[in-house]
């Protein structure tokens, strides 16, 4: 088991959640059950899956949850880009979050691979 609170991936992912909540607080109220909800759920899924994986007994199990977190990160990126396309968010707001997201995606990929290499 790993202490997820000490993992940089988890910490940065938590920062992304805060960024997404701050961004979606500016969205129109009619988006509450649309993109706002989707963005928030995807963002929360990333650190949540890192934490859940950290609590598993094997590296293979942990790697599985890192894969789920990776999928959520790409889903979040897509929804952020969509928010810009439909003009409910500005490019500068989106790019700041996506920059952190790309860092997390790289970290997830490397960490997952390192877990699978370990016996």
Query: Rounded mean pLDDT of the chain?
Result: 94
| Residues in the chain, overall count | 119
Q: Per the structure, how many domains does the chain have?
A: 1
Is residue 119 scored above 60 in pLDDT?
Answer: no
- C-alpha 110/C-alpha 62 separation (Å) is 13
Query: What pLDDT does 40 receive?
Result: 97
- C-alpha 83/C-alpha 23 separation (Å) is 10
Is residue 102 scored above 70 in pLDDT?
Answer: yes
Which residues are within 8 A (CB) of 48 and not within 5 positions of it... i.e. 6 or more apart? none
In the chain, % of residues over pLDDT 90: 90
Residue 75's CATH number: 1.20.1440.60
Q: pTM of this prediction?
A: 0.94
Q: How confident is the model at residue 118 (pLDDT cuts 50, 70, 90)?
A: low
**Residue range of the domain that includes 72:** 4-117
- C-alpha 69/C-alpha 51 separation (Å) is 10
Whether 13 and 90 have beta carbons less than 8 Å apart is answered as no
Whether 17 and 58 have beta carbons less than 8 Å apart is answered as no
Give pLDDT tens digits for 30-86: 888 899 999 999 999 999 999 999 999 899 999 999 999 999 999 999 999 999 999
Phi, psi of 52 (to 5 degrees): -65, -40
């Amino acid at each position: 088991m790993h202490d997820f609170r000490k993992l940089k991936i988890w910490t940065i992912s938590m920062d992304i959640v805060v960024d997404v909540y701050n961004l979606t607080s500016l969205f129109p109220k009619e988006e509450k059950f649309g993109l706002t909800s989707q963005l928030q759920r995807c963002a929360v899924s990333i650190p949540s899956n890192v934490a859940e994986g950290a609590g598993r007994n094997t590296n293979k199990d942990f790697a599985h949850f890192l894969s789920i977190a990776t999928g959520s990160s790409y889903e979040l990126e897509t929804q952020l880009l969509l928010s810009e396309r439909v003009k409910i968010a500005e490019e500068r707001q989106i790019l700041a979050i996506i920059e952190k997201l790309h860092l997390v995606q790289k970290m997830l990929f490397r960490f997952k691979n390192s877990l699978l290499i370990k016996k």
